[in-house]
Amino acid sequence: MLKPSFAYEIKDVTHNNGILPISLGIVKHEGSSRMNRGGRRWLILVAVGLFFLYVTYKLQYCSNSSGPGSVMLSKENFMVGKNNRIYHYDRLMPLIFIGGVPRSGTTLMRAMLDAHPEVRCGQETRVIPRILQMRTHWIKSKKETFRLEEAGVNNEVLDAAVAAFCLEVIARHGEPAERLCNKDPLTLKAADYLSLLFPNSKFIFMVRDGRATVHSIISRKVTITGFDLTDYRQCMTKWNDAIKVMYDKCLSVGKSRCMIVYYEQLVLHPSAWLRRILNFLDVEWDDAVLHHEDHINEPGGVLLSKVERSSDQVIKPVNIEALTKWVGHFPEDVVRDMATIAPMLSRLGYDPRANPPNYGQPDSIVLDNTRKVKENSKEWEQKAGELLMKGSSPENA
């Protein structure tokens, strides 16, 4: 009997006026039974999605009114935090989106920001990629688009409803905070669409050496639709395709709203890069971001998901253990053809012929952290094991 598992899904979609980002989603694989129940399940998902979008839209955007000439007004949204402080949220707030190919440092980045007292990212929501996927299916289908338009659900209404749904999930899946943040890695493929829904949002695009990313995906068995976890060459090709789309989307959004952060440089020089990142996000500096490991699972701190693959790693202080773990694991023919297989490596500044490459010299605090992690490896393994044991789940996310 096959054990169900969750996977990132990547599919091409189109918009009325051209190509939109590749859609995102998380699908549940259950062997051959999925094919038999796929159609019925999709109809249910569409129905549920439409219902939730409708309810969210009505609750957020429709005030009590009746009769000709009545005006639809947006209702005020807020949450109550500690000491009864009121936190307002709306589409114009400066949301933060963290994205990138899975296993590229998105969890570390959000953990660092979560350590800041004014920022709350939280765990991956999973439902935001799903609702974006549903929306792209509706837009892609001429038949479905016609039905929606006949019902008065045009693009403006649909976009408002999607934005309302995403905003409610981001705001309410954790504690209220001055700055709200979302980390669902593949949403960066929809950066241009999200930038329209949330005009004051900013994006952190996490980039990592594709060889390290692919080795991590394969060795940790991270299921991503389209990636063959038994084939390094195929996975490098898929990484190249995915990172190119994200890179192009980031460029289209513009440097003022999308910042590329190299995982290796963030790990080697956390203080300098975090200062640049917080400055880009218009967030004041706080030393807590340099010590995210001190705030794990604390109220208002870094709450970890027990089913995310990276949770057992970000409990440690920033260290360089993972930078070159990939070296020596790629087949010789893949190493030889790397520049051809993944041209985005060179475009992003990585040397496809270097094994290992020279990423740079780490700061003294990072060297000290790495030494302590190695000296207390058994203790860290025990902590990671306890975290995973508590989060053991049949979903195997």
SS (H, E, C) the chain: CCCCEEEEEEECCEECCEECCCEEEEEEEECEHHHHHHHHHHHHHHHHHHHHHHHHHHHHHCCCCCCCCCCCCCCCCEEECHHHCEEECCCCCCCEEEECCCCCCHHHHHHHHHCCCCEECCCCCCHHHHHHHHHHHHHHCHHHHHHHHHCCCCHHHHHHHHHHHHHHHHHHCCCCCCEEEEECHHHHHHHHHHHHHCCCCEEEEEECCHHHHHHHHHHCCCCECCCCCCCHHHHHHHHHHHHHHHHHHHHHHCCCCEEEEEHHHHHHCHHHHHHHHHHHHCCCCCHHHHHHHHHECCCCCECCCCCCCCHHHHCCCCCCCCCCCCCCCCCHHHHHCHHHHCCHHHHCCCCCCCCCCCCCCCCHHHHHHHHHHHHCHHHHHHHHHHHHHHCCCCCCC
Cα 202 off chain centre by:
13
**Is 379 considered catalytic here?**
no
Closest alpha carbon to 134 in 49, 197, 239: 49
- For residue range 36-93, what is the model confidence (pLDDT) as tens digits? 445 555 555 555 565 555 555 554 544 444 444 444 445 678 777 777 777 788 999 9
For the ranges 13-27, 36-50, 167-181, 202-216, the lowest mean pLDDT is seen at 13-27
> Given pLDDT bands bounded at 50, 70 and 90, which one contains residue 33?
very low
> Given pLDDT bands bounded at 50, 70 and 90, which one contains residue 378?
confident
The packing angle between helices 127-140 and 33-61, to 10°, is 90
- 310 within 8 A of 108, measured Cβ to Cβ: yes
Question: Which domains does the chain carry?
Answer: 5-64+83-390 (3.40.50.300)
Q: Which of 124, 150, 168, 178 is catalytic?
A: 124
- For residue range 282-336, what is the model confidence (pLDDT) as tens digits? 999 999 999 999 888 888 788 777 666 667 788 899 999 999 999 999 999 999 9
Number of Cβ within a 10 Å radius of residue 160: 18
Mean pLDDT calculated for residue range 231-240: 98
- For residue range 144-169, what is the model confidence (pLDDT) as tens digits? 888 888 888 888 999 999 999 999 99
- 29 within 8 A of 36, measured Cβ to Cβ: no
Indicate the residue type of 330: F
Beta-carbon contacts of residue 350 (< 8 Å; ≥ 6 apart): 209, 210, 357
Mean pLDDT calculated for residue range 212-237: 96
Q: What is the mean pLDDT of the chain?
A: 82
Closest alpha carbon to 124 in 174, 79, 88, 87: 174
Please state, in angstroms and rounded to a whole number, the distance separating the CA atoms of residues 288 and 240.
35
The packing angle between helices 232-253 and 210-219, to 10°, is 130
383 vs 290, which has greater pLDDT? 290
Number of Cβ within a 10 Å radius of residue 392: 10
What per-residue confidence (pLDDT) applies to 42? 54
- From residue 102, give the alpha-carbon distance in Å to each of 142, 203, 261: 32, 16, 14
Write down how long the chain is: 397
Q: Is the pLDDT of residue 20 over 70?
A: no
Beta-carbon contacts of residue 77 (< 8 Å; ≥ 6 apart): 60, 88, 89, 90, 167, 168, 171
What per-residue confidence (pLDDT) applies to 390? 54
Q: Is the pLDDT of residue 281 over 70?
A: yes
Give buried/exposed letters for 75-114 (b at 16+ CB in 10 A, else e). eebebeeeeeeebebbbebbbbbbbbbbbbbbbbbbbbbb
Please state, in angstroms and rounded to a whole number, the distance separating the CA atoms of residues 281 and 203.
9
What per-residue confidence (pLDDT) applies to 150? 85
Peptide bond into 102 cis (omega under 30): no
